[in-house]
Amino acid sequence: MLYDIRLNLRYDYDAAAGGGRHQVRVLPPTISGVQRVIAASLSFAPTPSERSDFSDFFGNNVTSIAFRDAHDALDIRMSARVAVSRPEPGLDVSPDIRRLRSQLEAVRSLSPDTPHHFLAASDHVGIDADITGYARSSAGSSVVGTAMDLCNRIRRDFTYDGEATTVHTRASDAFSLKRGVCQDFSHIMIAGLRGLGIPAGYVSGFLRTIPPPGKPRLEGADAMHAWVKVWCGRDTGWQEFDPTNGMRASNDHITVGHGRDYSDVAPIVGVLKTTGGQVGEQAVDVIPVVLEKA
């Protein structure tokens, strides 16, 4: 699939900010065998006094910006053309949890993608006894089967509610509420798998949404999405699951970044020299591109 993606993030401040510094993670990367970025751009209004672009520990694209002059709003615009071609899931040859542990012990690397980084508690995801107990009911004869069953159960047992949680909500709190958004469902799945000893991480990105038959596609109706990556053993490697929709990640999932939880891939983090609060808005367009045959 080929997509044109447009993202607009806007923040309006109650009082003018005298300065600020932020890190922005919204540019999709090229991922071997999964997606290819053909072109991408990222702009800011007002224009930052300083700007630098780099990759973080996990390989995510980061743009660091700083402002010295007063400003009462920040507008961020990203556009990209991305080709996505995920391989079809093959035969499940992943081990059970007991054999997975022995395969984990054989991994000696501490590279960014090693499963050891995705086993312990992190900022939004604790090892919670109640969530582990819930996940244990999904434990089966393979890690892939366990992850898929837990993914489907979260889709069935939890209610999507955009008002129930915030970006700061922890997995344990969302689990108690039994409601939330894609970020919460991903955190719950990660917590459950880690509690079973299965490495799991957080993926942020975009998801193409398909309007009902006969209805036009709405501009800006899409939003940033989140799903889960799971280390399924030496031979199967990392696989991705979407608990919000009860499915494996498909060619409709466009990756922006991954980490231990949301805090590693938040679209923007930083500090402002100001008083009062701020109001943020987000609009995303994921537009399939159909190329005409010559």
Nearest Cα to Cα of residue 206 among 28, 38, 30: 28
Residue 30 has phi, psi (to 5 degrees) of -80, 130
Q: So what's the pLDDT on residue 252?
A: 92
Q: Please state the pTM of the whole predicted model.
A: 0.94
Q: So what's the pLDDT on residue 199?
A: 98
Helices (H) and strands (E) in the chain, counts: 6, 15
Q: So what's the pLDDT on residue 26?
A: 97
pLDDT averaged per 10 residues in sequence order, the chain, 294 residues: 95 92 97 96 97 97 96 96 93 96 95 96 97 97 97 97 94 97 97 98 92 67 87 97 95 96 96 89 91 68
Residue 157 has phi, psi (to 5 degrees) of -90, -15
Beta strands in 68-185 (DSSP E): 71-84, 159-160, 179-180
Give dist(CA 69, CA 49) in Å, integer: 8
Q: So what's the pLDDT on residue 177?
A: 97
Q: So what's the pLDDT on residue 220?
A: 52
Q: So what's the pLDDT on residue 221?
A: 56
Nearest Cα to Cα of residue 268 among 15, 33, 76, 6: 76
Whether 86 contacts 242, CB under 8 Å: no
Token pair for 244: 């919000």
Q: So what's the pLDDT on residue 214?
A: 76
Token pair for 116: 């050891």
290 vs 3, 4, 83, 168, CA distance in Å? 9, 10, 12, 39
Give dist(CA 198, CA 119) in Å, integer: 7
